[in-house]
Amino acid sequence: MACHSSVRTLFLCVMLCAVAAEGIAQETMPRELVVQDVRFFLRSLEEVHPDPYSALGGKIEFKRRAQAILWDVPESGLTARGIHDLLAPLIAGLGDGHTRLIAPESGDDEALYGVLPVRFGVVTDAIYVALAARGFEDLIGHRLTRVEERPVDEVRAAARSLLPAENEFGAGRALARTLRSQRLAGELLGQRPESLRVDLVSPDGIPAAERELPYAAADSWTWDLQPAGQFETEDPDQVGPIRWRLLEPSGTGYLRLRSIEGREAFEQARDRSDLPGYVGRYYERYLDAEAPAELDRALAGIPCFTETVVDLLTAMRDRGSDWLIVDVRGNGGGWSSLMKPLYLLAFGRTYAEYPFPDTWIDSASPAFLELNGWTAGQLADEWGAGYDVGDYRFETVGPPQGDRDWNEYSASLESLGCGLAARVRSLDGLPIHPVDVIVITDSGTFSAAFQLAYTLWRLGATVVGTPSAQAGNAFTNVLPIELPNSRIRGSVARSAQLFFPDDEALGRALMPDYPVRWRDLERFGFDRDAEVIYALELISSGSAYQRAPGGTDE
């Protein structure tokens, strides 16, 4: 296969999902083709990523490590899996959850290498058994303290050398994923284990006891459905990744977002060359159908988030309910522009005129121009005179200049469709129904979902849960790539976000106002919706509070 010489030819994949075909993944490729793939990835990093150097010790150290990787390509060549594993330590060293390669499957990886009969979860102060296969249910809720006689903090730190992590909660997720996989556990421990020795502390306070957990093919384990929570939190008549309801008996509003995908964001991205792929994936995943070939018809079949927010806020207003729980647990992100209807219809002028301190840094790489279908001249039209290919744009949101002209502002929303602009114009800066918000996060709240939680926090929301694996000051927004010979797919971050430019600690992890700890889960019986129950308890007891926008408590 020929190797393309320029990163301009970055493959615009549909989403970061499917990986190399089984035959390609198992086939050993000649060294020359392997080197071409490695060089392609390294060029992609240097051309697209805002800063691939600092985390690795500077440009010279980056170049040293890159050269060492090239020297490590064996004369006999590598499989696609081998290429992935060769590059994985460099990627992990970036500490950037948006830059990654998706491991190609060698047949059925889980069948070949095996998985544990438990799955670990992460809360603020512990890694614990969140789910267990039949026969191991007695371990649910147990806290992990040691792995193969090594303290959990030590192995968690070691997991960061295998999988990217932006903070300690990302490292916890990396460890949970590593231990579950026999192949990754072998890389962590130095040899592939047939079983894993762990020390576990039970919720009833019994001292840590060593358990030996076997690895076996995934289909060897029977995973019963997780038992229902104390209440039903989703309306089965609604479709898509976004659902809402009023929780009884209090009538508290509940908005569950499993992914930040939806019509308004797609409408705004009509000119992007990869949009049909995202729309097709939405239909396949959420509507169990094939997307119509004609884009207008396809978009018309996707629910409008604006209508969801209108229905939710109207129901809360009619019920006299002031509290809204926004749940983004396990939400890996999507399109941040989709959240505009929630911000504007629930907060109105408070959102539109808030002086966010965020700074965004975007890199005008050739691949970024290709994604948007821009020429160098069009870049200057879009970004402003003086910008050229390779430049960085620095933007701080800041406060609006002068009084907000709501007719003018609503006109800027027309590209989102779904009648949002007309509603904002008619409300003239007022919300449909003012709400107090609790946003629930966990370590799996990432990217656009973290941005949602952060924005609500800035606007005064109370945060409940586990800190996100996403750092507030981090790299973000991706350009999908595909290595030309192995066909391994992945992504490279193309932007940076500084949500806390003057606070290094918050820039690493946004700590909840009410952190969920291991003993909190035990108190709620390790219910799958323990965080929601906790939020309702805070509301009913009067403990929940809203801070004034900007961070001061009311």
Residue located via tokens 């995943």: 285
Is the per-residue pLDDT at 372 higher than 90? no
- The pLDDT, as a whole number, for residue 14 is 30
Is the per-residue pLDDT at 236 higher than 90? no
Burial class (CB in 10 A: 0-12, 13-18, 19+), 510: buried
Per-residue pLDDT of 403-437, as tens digits, reads 667 888 888 899 999 999 999 999 988 999 999 99
Is the per-residue pLDDT at 23 higher than 50? no
320 backbone φψ class: left, alpha, beta (φ>0; ψ -120 to 50): left
- Residue pair 119/226 in contact (Cβ under 8 Å)? The answer is no
Instruction: Provide Rg for the chain, Cα atoms.
Output: 24
- The pLDDT, as a whole number, for residue 16 is 34
- The pLDDT, as a whole number, for residue 402 is 56
Residues paired with residue 547 on neighbouring β-strands, in sequence order: 553
Q: What is the mean predicted confidence (pLDDT) over 129-157?
A: 94
- The pLDDT, as a whole number, for residue 231 is 62
- Residue pair 212/117 in contact (Cβ under 8 Å)? The answer is no
Q: What is the mean predicted confidence (pLDDT) over 371-391?
A: 85
Neighbouring C-beta atoms of residue 45, cutoff 10 Å: 23
- The pLDDT, as a whole number, for residue 401 is 56
pTM of the predicted protein model: 0.88
How confident is residue 449, by pLDDT bands cut at 50, 70 and 90? very high
Question: Helix, strand or coil for residue 309?
Answer: helix
525 backbone φψ class: left, alpha, beta (φ>0; ψ -120 to 50): left
User: 357: Cβ–Cβ under 8 A, 6 or more apart, which residues?
Assistant: 396, 397, 398, 499, 500, 501, 502
- pLDDT higher at 50 or 401: 50
Burial class (CB in 10 A: 0-12, 13-18, 19+), 384: exposed
Give the mean pLDDT of the chain: 87
Which of 231-235, 377-381, 488-492 has the weakest average pLDDT? 231-235
Per-residue pLDDT of 70-120, as tens digits, reads 999 999 999 998 999 999 999 999 999 999 998 776 445 565 689 999 999
Is the per-residue pLDDT at 9 higher than 60? no
- Residue pair 144/129 in contact (Cβ under 8 Å)? The answer is yes
Per-residue pLDDT of 249-289, as tens digits, reads 889 999 999 999 999 999 999 888 788 989 999 999 999 99
Among 331, 519, 536, which residue's Cα sits nearest to residue 442?
A: 331
Going through 35-103 in order, the beta strands assigned E by DSSP cover 100-101
- The pLDDT, as a whole number, for residue 378 is 86
Q: What's the count of helices (H) and strands (E) in the chain, helices before strands?
A: 22, 17
Q: What proportion of the chain, given as a percentage, has pLDDT over 90?
A: 68
Identify the DSSP state of 200. E
CB-side exposure of 455: number of CA atoms within 13 Å? 24
Helix H or strand E encompassing 130: strand 126-132
**The two structure tokens encoding residue 183:** 């192949």
- Residue pair 533/440 in contact (Cβ under 8 Å)? The answer is no
Question: Helix, strand or coil for residue 467?
Answer: coil
How confident is residue 20, by pLDDT bands cut at 50, 70 and 90? very low
- The pLDDT, as a whole number, for residue 5 is 33
Identify the DSSP state of 491. E
- Residue pair 142/202 in contact (Cβ under 8 Å)? The answer is yes
- What whole-number distance in Å separates Cα of residue 194 and Cα of residue 481? 35
- Residue pair 127/172 in contact (Cβ under 8 Å)? The answer is yes
- What whole-number distance in Å separates Cα of residue 211 and Cα of residue 147? 10
How confident is residue 232, by pLDDT bands cut at 50, 70 and 90? low
Per-residue pLDDT of 318-353, as tens digits, reads 999 999 999 999 999 999 999 999 999 999 989 988
Q: What is the mean predicted confidence (pLDDT) over 238-245?
A: 88
Burial class (CB in 10 A: 0-12, 13-18, 19+), 76: exposed
Neighbouring C-beta atoms of residue 23, cutoff 10 Å: 9
Distance (Å) of CA 94 to CA 58, 88, 276: 11, 10, 31
Per-residue pLDDT of 104-117, as tens digits, reads 764 455 656 899 99
CB-side exposure of 246: number of CA atoms within 13 Å? 16
Identify the DSSP state of 487. -
Is the per-residue pLDDT at 6 higher than 60? no
- The pLDDT, as a whole number, for residue 508 is 94
- The pLDDT, as a whole number, for residue 329 is 95
